[in-house]
Structure 1
Amino acid sequence: MKRSFLLFFAALVAAAAPLASHAAELDEALACGESAHQFIGDLANQQLIDPEPMRVESNSINAFQPARGERLTAFGFTAFAVVGFEQDDPLFKSGKGEPLAKSAYGAVVFGSVEKVQAAVTAAGSAAIVHHVGPHITAIFCKRR
């Protein structure tokens, strides 16, 4: 019985290994030391996100979804979108209103504001944590 459990567990780990290789952590980039162009451009070049925004907000924030089969995480939370905008950059589309900042980027994750804020603080990131909806939180960096 113990041997069969160990064999089952080993098979489970082996089966999950390819899935784990498709996870990309955004933590380092969310320390807020780069531009929106670098953040979104790097993810697009690595084919981790769809390079076409799925949505453009009036404040010009562009939302990009992970590429099919890719998993993005931020501070241990699953990111279901990354966002960004950089003024006068052809990588981004402009909205109809006033831009949020000259350069802003981040991730939208599943998790409560309190838990996400605790993880961001523990990591020493300068990112801003913002409530979006029930158990949906944005983590973003912006330059004036």
Structure 2
Amino acid sequence: MKNNILETALCASLLVLATTAGTASAKALDDALDCHSTGHKFVAPLLAAGDIQSEPMHVESNSVNAFRTNHPLTAYGFGVYVVLGYQANDPIFRPGDGTPIGDWAYGVVVRGAKGSVEEAVRKAGSDATVKQAFPFLTAIVCSSD
């Protein structure tokens, strides 16, 4: 009985440590999400640092590219699920099969409810568009339009 309690406590401690360590070492993208940049200026440094994969995992018809993360990233305290980006005539980005979103766009999809994410974004002073992508996945996007 005593061993079960110790094993349970040890497992719980390791789980908390693993969760905290990932968040503590995550790179914060808050400053870059102030909507004063471009798709290239946002995505290129993340590619150069190896923070995201070099090939998009998905390209929307409006040419927004979705890149998987290689390392933990955060935006306003929320874990980043994917990085989004597009810039016209930029070889970093693949074109979609529809009308492009504009000259450029960039952002992230984070793990968090829209209300909580939007509150954090506005509190930080960003004008980014905040939209629910799926339940508990929220997009934070800046665009030229």
Q: TM-score, normalised by structure 1?
A: 0.84
Deviations 1:27-49 (A, max 9, x none): 00001111100110010001111
Read off the aligned partner of 2:79 and give its amino acid letter: T
Q: CA RMSD in A?
A: 1.9
Identity of aligned residues (%): 42
Q: Is residue 66 of structure 2 the alignment partner of residue 63 of structure 1?
A: yes
Q: Look up the match of 1:36.
A: 39
Classify the secondary structure of the residue corresponding to 1:64. Answer: strand
Gaps of 5+ in 2: 1-9
Q: Is residue 129 of structure 2 the alignment partner of residue 128 of structure 1?
A: yes
Question: Matched residues in 2 for 1:65 and 1:138: separation?
Answer: 14
Distance 1:49 1:22, change over 3 A: farther
Q: Is residue 23 of structure 2 the alignment partner of residue 45 of structure 1?
A: no
Question: Matched residues in 2 for 1:115 and 1:101: separation?
Answer: 28
1:6-45 matches, cutoff 5 A: 19=22, 22-45=25-48
Classify the secondary structure of the residue corresponding to 2:51. Answer: coil
Q: Look up the match of 2:105.
A: 104
Classify the secondary structure of the residue corresponding to 1:141. Answer: strand
Matched pairs, number: 131
Classify the secondary structure of the residue corresponding to 1:117. Answer: helix
Question: Matched residues in 2 for 1:79 and 1:94: separation?
Answer: 23
Q: Look up the match of 1:140.
A: 141
Deviations 1:66-122 (A, max 9, x none): 11xx10100000011000000111110000001112100000011111000000000
